[in-house]
Structure 1
Amino acid sequence: ARAQTGEEIRSFAADLTVGSDGVLNVTERIDYFFPGPRHGIYRDIPTLYVTDDGRRFRIPLSGFSVTKADGSPWRFEVQSNDVGVRVKIGDPNLTVSGDQAYIISYRASGALRYFSDHDELYWNATGNDWTVPIRRVTAIIKLPSGVPSDTVQRQCFTGAKGSTSHDCLIGATGGTTHIAAAGPLTVVVGWPPGFVAKLEAEQEKLLPVFVPYLWPLLVGAIFFVLWWKRGRDIGGRGTVMVQYEPPEHLSPAEVGVLMDQRADIRDITSTIVDLAVRGYIKIREIEKKGLLFKSKDYELVKMKDFSLDAGLKPHEKKILEVVFGLLPQVSLSSLKTQHAFHLELSGIKSKLYGQLVAAKLFPSNPETVKIYYGLAAAAVLGLSFFGLKAMLPAGASDAIGVRVWVPFILTVIICAAFVPLMPRRTPEGMLAFEHAKGFKDYLATAEKYRLQWQEKEHVFEMFLPYAMVLGVADKWAKTFADLGLPPPKWYEGSGMGPGAFNAAAFVTTMHSLDSSVNAAMVSAPSQSSGGSGFGGGSSGGGGGGGGGGSW
């Protein structure tokens, strides 16, 4: 509802307590003036934050309570959505007017930021989106006990969102910081790392030192039996013959997964190139000028509607949907800032694995198999760590310590080698695998088999995506280096003029495309959920924030 004339927050007092467990405990006292009857107020607090470069992170909130100045409770409800929560305070059957006090308490998990030289609270104490003015603001920030007061850094920002003004007063009493301002307030407090408690395992004496050497032998024997019975490939001819065509009905990405039993960025890049060859998209190379150097970007252009195209495999359609959405064209650099694009990678992989299982080339999803045995290996390592550590006598010499920890390191190596070996191909999968290896041999030595391809139209482009996933694109291009091929119609970029096409140089460009796709697909939040408030901070930055009004 629209605020009444004269409605205001006369005082906003934020009490921010940093717990030794890393949780931020927040108490906000909002002294609100209603010139006329209203039901109450609402307080909006974001939980989803987006950095300047498009990365997103969440700060979960919990433990809400709302009381009056005398400690009696207000009626309230917490409404959640994708971007935050709204604490709606008041009774729809009652109205209030005049001065009212609302004391809101809650906990924020993940609100702190961690850097190499300091830990930090960067928090928008009031929010910048209130529908009424805020006349006076105070903030008290309490740090974990033991933080030396002379090591604490303090900063504040005031004004509209994005402002770098410091119209505030900062004081300190021991490890407690006091800040006062006359409007929206964002606070930054930093302190040396190491004041958040860390639990360490206790050591106990157990078995004699020589016993641990038996453990990696036992683990290795068990894992070998598991691999022999459940992970060993069975079937196939046992020989590899040169093949002049890829395995029937398998796309480049499916061949890539069949070969190394994992879906990766190279499989996705090969799919993009294959879709371009088949006329679904066009790839444009874009030169971006910087202050000193130039860089490359790539623009993908949708050439035809694919929504109802039965000629696309599920993973191909998924890639097109993720890349384009409802847009006719998109640059790879823009995809880096779309957190959803990074998250869709697992969905694309799942479709690839599912297709190969449906084609009876794998008995089950290779990724699921790795996860299953990876969890088993992790359990073994956990048992090994605590068990072997318990076997280490207190005060043992370095020589005895080495005897205990060497078996653990051997166990780690055995587990790391075991998990990737467990996905297995079916007999049909082994036949397709041998066929793909034969096709790889052909692509790598195509000059020897000129009669097999010289009459085929567009053979270089047609097999290029397969050469990419098989790791022989450079050798495949070398075969066509001096044949004067026309440039592909689906690619626009440097060196693509009439008579200027160079197959080897073009493959180098495809490697660059692969790097760009990799950067876009795996772009994810970095170690800290955002930048430091001490360098480049502003009002409205950091966690917290939001606003509110009356209803």
Structure 2
Amino acid sequence: MLRRALTEMPHCEGSIVSRLPVIVLTRLFAGLLVLAAVVVGPSATRAMAAETVETYVVQGAINADGSLNVTATITFDGAAPAGLVQKFANARQVIGDREYVYTLRDVKATIADQPINATVTQQDGQTVVTMPTQGATAPVVLSYTVLGAAIKEPSGETTVMWRLLQGLSLPVKQFTATLTVPTMIQAVLCNAGPPVSPGVCTSWGGGTHEYPDPTFSDGPRGVGEVVEVIVRFPEGAVTPNEQIRDVWTLGKAFSTAPLPLSLALIALVLGGLAFWAVHRRMGRDAVGAGQSTPVAEFHPVGDGEAEFRVLDGVRPGQVGTLVDERVDPVDVTATLIDLAVRGHLRFTELPKESAYAVREWTLSRLAGGDDLLPYERTLLDAVAPEGGEPVLLSQLPEAVGAVIVTVQNELYDDVVKLGWFAQRPDQTRNTWFRIGLGCVVVAVLATIGLAAFTGFGLLGLALIAVSLLVVFLGQEMPARTEKGVAMLNGLGMLRADLLGQPTDSMPKGQELAELSEVLPYAVVLGGYERWLQALADADGDLDADSTDLNWYHAPDDWRLSDLPASLDRLIITIQGKLFSR
């Protein structure tokens, strides 16, 4: 019509205006043709490609050796799409720690009896068959053989179980299957639906004299849905060819079966006994003759009076290190108080700025009257430098932090020099910590290997437990020498005296000096509260006592009766600040 209209239009030769409608209409017509080709052409092509499998028909055979031959004829509801993919699971997990493994072989695909270039790959535990089917109008025939689908039942029968339809890239309208069998079957079942929890098929049957071969029918099925057939044979009719693979599970890796459990317990017991034997041989204090070396005593000087005497110049820091084999805050605190009592240091309690202000002290250097041990000099120079200004107690972490390791090292060296330990206790602990840590690393690696490749993971856990025993109880391996044991026995007697000696037995007129000498040792060994109270009770006048003690000064209205509370707060504050950073 459009062409006829164009030919019947009036013609005015030589007139550009008369030819203009013809040119416009011609170009409009060409544009419409191009637009139709762009929009309609691809849609028409897509509409022609099949989007559904019309029928999926299986002809299969279960052989006496347990193998399963499958030939699936796939018919589309139009021209075949560009490609078709079917994925077959290589394994199927069962209850417990096992899974059945399947093998597909002789995979072939044809169209009209002509082979197509189908590719078979392994991906994510699946055998993936990719079939190029671009535009084919004839059905696709896929054939393969399955090994591993014949499973032996506990009662002796053989069950062949396989998902004839699975992992297809297109939905299926109708599925049918027929399996030829070598003998009469005992039971037949068909499941269909989602792979995780399929229901039952539409229909299935067979296993009778009239219809010996089982048949199955189902549909429609969505993309990736399954149709699973199950056929059971009497014992001996079909040879099982199941391929069972053990699956790693936590329960299997750390099995509590008799053998793994027994080995783990044996390793735990033997490891504990071995470490006990090593500790008994290397970590026990030397066994002496029960001797005791007196450290200090309350020496009688009159009727009902006794003065405190320290023997052989044993210092409170040394005492604390010998008792617990460590240099800790209480040892350093007792050393500071001892330095003050001996005239090297003075604590000065400052007036509080308000009722709610934190109490503060200063530490001032004094001349002293005796020699200092290396660790005492290092500590004293840090907290009260010679010739320097008094140091606030709140600055103690900064003052001590730079030298505390040196103080510890010198004190450890000192107790070895005294013959109380054969080796520095901290070095002994570090050695056993490294040994234990190495054992832990080896035990963890052994546990990983045992759990990954065997069921003896519990044995590895037992080794880890023994290794941790070495790490933690190895800290108790420092051992005192015979001389150190004798000194420790003497400290036991001194502790008994500090807890039982009457605090009012000091020589008259010397109470403050004598009680002050007792105080550092009581801080380390216990019972310092009663000696603080004895200092407070020694106040025999009504005057203020802010300077009665040379080693402890306080505000003008302070009295000795305030000393227990003041010094208790001082000790707690020092110990809290000593090792802070």
Q: TM-score, normalised by structure 1?
A: 0.49
> Which protein is bigger by CA-based radius of gyration?
2
Q: Which has the higher helix share?
A: 2
Q: TM-score, normalised by structure 2?
A: 0.47
